[in-house]
Each structure stands twice: as structure tokens, then as C-alpha cells.
Amino acid sequence: MLAMFDYEFMRNAFAAATIVALVAGSIGYFLVLRGETFAGHALAHVGFPGATGAVLIGISPFVGLSAFTAIAGIGISLIGERGQRDVAIGLVLTLSLGLGLLFLHFYTAYAGMASSLLFGNVLGINRETVWILLGMAAVTIVALGAISRPLLFASLQPELAEAKGVPIKPLSTFFMIIVALATAQAIQIVGVLLVFALMVAPAATALRLTRHFAAGIALSIGIAVAIVWASLTLAFFTDWPTSFWITALGGAAYGLSRLVEVVRK
């Protein structure tokens, strides 16, 4: 098993996947707790036209998808009522894929990039990207830590938090920017269409197993890291896509958590 670490691309893949799992596990916990998983799913789709549009004008696709997801995160947080926001998010989600396909139509030489963007290509990550992900992860985790206490309060008791003077709107906007950065990182591992699995499955599983905040977020991170490590190992020995294993193991983890919950009752 240790033989796979003889290859640089596997070392880079494990490093990048671990970094992203740490971020996805922590951000995803708040995302599920706040009932905003649909918004996180939409942000991933926004990254697709951002990346393809960036390639079209000659800049890094990573810069494009990061910028687009950050802008979309701010926009989503500024939309008022929940029902109205869900409709707007759904429209943005479908429009994003359409724009991405349009950009690829104008620059067909990069049509192969679409597959990596949509489904991820963790085995193609180089050392430079690993360092970029590490820097973004540090910023993301520090930013989340800075707002974690008021964010938890606002997530569990929004009316009381607002009455106590917690700035709900700015807090929500800042959190969505953090989610956007985390999404941009996760796309590198599982792609636009599957980022939902890595950011939601570990967190949803953890919330099923424990209601304590510290234990829950630690468990969410631990499950995310375990899933990406197991997925990379299975992908190496089976030659099946890593993203498939991430989604399959994420679904299995959540299924087991439901079974544990039933047994407890």
C-alpha cells in the first residue's frame, strides 16, 4: 500500500485532498446546521462559468472560479426571504452551467477541461496547486474561527441572536464568502457536480451522530479526511475515478449514521 507514495502525483493528491477535507468538513458542518446546503451546491455550479470564462480571456481557471464563487456568495447572502432566495439560487444554478457551456463553445480547444471541472481531477494536481490550496485553507479556517461563536448562535437561535445585537446580515454575507472559498477549493478535488458530496455528507453524518458542537465539527472533519484517504487508496488500486469513491463512501457514511440513529432509538 505504501508503494503508491512513490509517485509524486499521489503525494500531491493526498496532500491536496487532506487540505480540502479539513476545510470542507468544518465549513460543511455550519452549512448543514444552517440549512444552506442548496446555496453551497449552487456556488459550485457558479465556479464552472468562472473557470471557463477565465480560460477564454487567458487567465488561470482557478482564479476565475474563485472570483465567481465569491461574488455569487455575496449575492446569495443579500437576497432576502428564504423562498425568494431558493428560486434565485435555482435560476443562478442552471444559468451558470449554460454560460459555462457557451464559453466552452467559443474555446473548444479547452473542451477537455470541462470534464475536470465537472467531475474533478485530484490526481492531476501539482505541487504549486497544493501550496495555493494550503494558503486558501488557512485563510478560510481563520475566518471561520473568527465568526464561529456568533455564527453558531445565529444558526441555532436567529431571533434571539438578532435581539442580542448579533449582526445577522453581515455575518451571513461573510459566511457565504467563506463558503465560496471552500467551494473553490473542493472543486479541485471532486468537481462542480460532486462538490456537494464532500461538503455535505461528512457534516450531515456527524450531525446524526452527535449534537455537541465541538464533537460534531471534529467528527465532520475526521469523516471527510477518512473518506478522501480511503477514496484515493481505492482509486489507486481499482483505477476507478476518485470522485466516484468520494461520493460512494460519503453516501455510505451517511447511511450508516442513519442506521446507528435507528438502533439508538
Q: Where are the domains of the chain?
A: 2-194
pLDDT at 230: 95
Query: What's the confidence (pLDDT) of residue 111?
Result: 55
pLDDT score at 231: 93
What mean pLDDT do residues 111-133 have?
A: 77
Say which residues have a Cβ less than 8 Å from residue 94's Cβ, sequence separation at least 6: none
Between CA 235 and CA 212 the distance in angstroms is 34
- Cα 253 to chain center, whole Å? 17
| Enclosing H/E stretch for 68 | helix 61-78
Hey, how many other C-beta atoms are within 10 angstroms of the C-beta on 221? 21
What mean pLDDT comes out for the span 101-117?
67
Enter the CATH code of domain 2-194.
Answer: 1.10.3470.10
- The whole-model pTM stands at 0.84
How far is residue 18 CA from its own chain's centroid? 13
pLDDT tens for each residue of 56-90: 787 877 788 888 888 887 777 776 555 566 777 77
Say yes or no to pLDDT of 122 above 90. Answer: no
How far apart, in whole angstroms, are the C-alpha atoms of residue 186 and residue 175?
Answer: 16
Residue 232 pLDDT exceeds 60: yes
